[in-house]
Structure 1
Amino acid sequence: MTKTLDELINAKEPGWPVVREWLDGANKPVEVLDVSPRRGAEVLLALQVTTRSPMGAIAFQTGGLLVDHGWVRILGGGCARMEGDLARWNGLGGRPLVEPFNGAMLVAHDVLGGFFALDGGALGEGRGAAYYLAPDTLEWERLVDSYSELVAFLLTGDLAKFYEDFRWPGWEKDVAALSPDRGYSFVPPLFARDEGPGRERRDVPMVELLGMNLELADAT
């Protein structure tokens, strides 16, 4: 049975204070994008999660979170600056970006074309663990046990170490100027052995990167 907006908004035990604690404890720049009440409500209804959960709180109260100069984008309710939201990225609502990902839920992505998803059976045991589709291996790698642990890691964990092999001098300025709906395609690709002096990169839509990486992952 589909829940109404009133049923999904939990004013007694809101999840936002928990998210706020993670934001206050972040060890890197995090930009909280604004979301319109209408759009936040639409995404919440499409997801059918309550604002008692951190996911529901982020979907309802933010357009998304840009982490570390926008290197990682945690999906929220969407906005003019970041059109992709939690509903559209999972094939839900009236304007889906992709087909539904059966057995998994996309919740964040990064500029490299890496995607973070919660397992609903397609990636592991189906218990909501967070996985990362690594563009250098084209494999879904298990990271942590839950959405909450993933968000906490992205905000307060050591992303510099996580991405240490992939950042270049001046990446902060380049990434900050990039639309959160776009990422980098590399030549040679990150999964190929690079014997040359460096990689060329061009920015492309994140939807294109997802389709390409999923197709390549299926082929390996």
Structure 2
Amino acid sequence: MVNPPDDAWLELTELIAASPVNVVVCPPHEDSATGTALALGTSSYLGALARNTSGVLVDDGWLPLLGGSSGKDGLPGLDEASAGTPGLLVVAHDVLGGAFALDGGALGRGDGSVYHFSVDSLSWEDLELGHADFVTRMLAGATESFYESLRWPGWQDDLADLSPKQGLSLYPYPFTAEGKDVSDASKQAVPMTELLGIYNDVAEQLGLSRGVPAAWA
């Protein structure tokens, strides 16, 4: 099939090929209806990911970018990850349980800016980036500086055996004074739904920003 001139997947494949970090593209699932459900075309990075992948694992799996829905053992689709969270669209999460979402009014001005919910602050921060710029920077290696304070020697080994639906639970939690040195924290593989739920519940209990409830399983 010949790609149309406005197909953003062409640009994305070039960025992926040139990335200085390890990137794995999860193939599209034949039963995925994410692109149609969210009315996404092929000219945006969001639509290209939804229609050509079931997610992209950036930097040895540290940052999964969401795309179309997958099988039972894969990543959730963009529509599934955002179910039950009106006013935002979850576009990525990190292996520690952090999340990235486009603001549709729930987080700020509703202008589609990318916000980050961090596990070391339990709050949403406006990155002042659109989705395409966010994806471009992360594929260009920005994960290394962005997550510098949340990484430890040998983190790649701890991620090696995780499935796409798993994350790493750190204890003491990174948002506590005791958990700021992540090198000393215990690390346990848990379902990502459980990890997202933990941080969402803690944030609500502390009266902080609401996180991302894990509606998918």
TM-score (norm 1): 0.84
Partner of 2:24: 31
Q: How far apart are 1:44 and its partner, in Å?
A: 1.1
Partner of 1:202: 188
Partner of 1:16: 9
Within 5 Å, give how 1:31-110 maps onto structure 2: 31-39=24-32, 42-80=33-71, 81-91=73-83, 100-110=84-94
Is 1:176 the counterpart of 2:176? The answer is: no
Instruction: List alignment gaps of at least 5 residues for structure 1.
Output: 1-9, 92-99
Partner of 2:201: 215
Give the match's secondary structure for 1:38.
coil
Is 1:117 the counterpart of 2:121? The answer is: no
TM-score (norm 2): 0.85
Q: Report which stretch shifted further, 149-158 or 68-77.
A: 149-158
Which stretches of structure 1, 4 residues or more, deviate above 6 A after TM superposition? none
Q: What is the identity, as a one-letter code, of the residue corresponding to 2:67?
A: G
Q: How far apart are 1:210 and its partner, in Å?
A: 1.9
Within 5 Å, give how 1:113-192 maps onto structure 2: 113-192=97-176
Q: What is the identity, as a one-letter code, of the residue corresponding to 1:65?
A: V
Q: What is the identity, as a one-letter code, of the residue corresponding to 2:79?
A: A
Q: Report which stretch shifted further, 181-190 or 125-134.
A: 181-190
Give the match's secondary structure for 1:101.
coil
Q: CA RMSD in A?
A: 1.9
Q: What is the identity, as a one-letter code, of the residue corresponding to 1:59?
A: A
Provide the aligned length of Structure 1 versus Structure 2.
201
- Does structure 1 retain, via aligned residues, the 8 Å contact 2:27–2:53? yes
Q: How far apart are 1:21 and its partner, in Å?
A: 2.7
Instruction: List alignment gaps of at least 5 residues for structure 2.
Output: 209-217
Partner of 1:4: none
Partner of 2:215: none
* Structure 1 Cα separation of the partners of residues 176 and 54 of structure 2: 35
Q: How far apart are 1:53 and its partner, in Å?
A: 1.2
Q: How far apart are 1:140 and its partner, in Å?
A: 0.4
Q: How far apart are 1:12 and its partner, in Å?
A: 4.8
